Structure 1
Amino acid sequence: MSDQRSMPVPDGLEGDRLDAAIARMFGLSRTRAADLITDGNVLVDGVAAAKSDRVQAGAWLDVVLPPPPTAPTPRAEAVPGLRTVYEDADIIVVDKPVGVVAHPTVGWTGPSVLEGLMASGVTVATSGAAERQGIVHRLDANTTGLMVVAKSETAYSVLKRAFKERTVDKRYNTLVQGHPDPLRGTIDAPIDRHPAGDGRWAVVAGGRPSVTHYDTIEAFRAASLLEIKLETGRTHQIRVHMSATRHPCVGDHLYGADPTLADRLGVRRQWLHAVRLGFEHPTEHRPVEFESPYPEDLEKALAVLREE
Structure 2
Amino acid sequence: MKNLSFTVPPEYSGAQVKTFLRRGCGVSAKLLSQCKKMQNGILKNGKPVWAADTAAAGDTVRLTLPQEHNSMAPEALPVSVLWEDDALLILNKPPQMPVHPCPGHDRGTVCNFVSYYQKRKGEDWRFRPLNRLDKDTSGLVIGAKDSYAASALNDVGKTYFAVCQGSLPGEGVIDTPIRLKEGHSIQREAGEGGKPAVTHWKSLAQGAAAGKSYTLLALTLETGRTHQIRVHLSSIGHPLAGDDFYGGSRELISRQALHCGLVELTHPFFLSRICVKAPFPNDFKKILEFLNIHNQVF
Query: TM-score, normalising length from structure 1?
Result: 0.67
**Paired residue for 2:10?**
none
Q: Specify whether residues 197 and 232 from structure 1 end up closer, same or farther in structure 2 by C-alpha distance, changes over 3 A only.
A: same
Among all aligned residue pairs of Structure 1 and Structure 2, give the percentage whose two residues are the same amino acid: 33
Residues 149-185 of structure 1: CA deviation (Å, up to 9, x unaligned): 00022101112xx1xxxx32110110000012x6210
The corresponding residue for 2:270 is 284
Which segments of 5 or more consecutive residues in structure 1 lack a partner in the other structure?
1-72, 127-132
Map residues 1-308 of structure 1 onto 2, 5 A cutoff.
Answer: 75-121=72-118, 126=126, 134-159=128-153, 162=154, 167-180=155-168, 183-221=170-208, 222-259=213-250, 262=251, 265=252, 267-306=253-292
Cα separation, 2, equivalents of 1:209 and 1:113: 29
Distance 1:87 1:121, change over 3 A: same
Distance change in 2, residues 1:157/1:297 (3 Å): same
The structural deviation recorded for 1:76 is 2.1
Give the 3-state SS of the residue equivalent to 2:263 in structure 1: strand
The 10-residue stretch of structure 1 (197-206 or 93-102) with the greater mean CA deviation from structure 2: 197-206
The code of the aligned residue for 2:186 comes to G
> Residues 197-221 of structure 1, C-alpha deviation per residue, up to 9 Å, x if partnerless?
1521111312111110000000113
The structure having more radius of gyration, on CA atoms, is 2
1:288 and 1:124 map into 2 onto residues whose CA distance is 25
Q: How many residues align?
A: 217
RMSD: 1.9
- Aligned-partner Cα distance in 1 for 2:139–2:124: 20
Return the alpha-carbon distance in structure 1 between the equivalents of residues 282 and 78 of structure 2.
12
| Alpha-carbon offset, residue 79 of structure 1 | 4.4
Partners of 2:118 and 2:124 within 8 A in 1: no
Q: What is the rounded CA distance, in whole Å, between the counterparts of 1:233 and 1:74 in structure 2? A: 28
TM-score scaled by length of structure 2: 0.69
How far 1:141 sits from its partner (Å)? 0.5
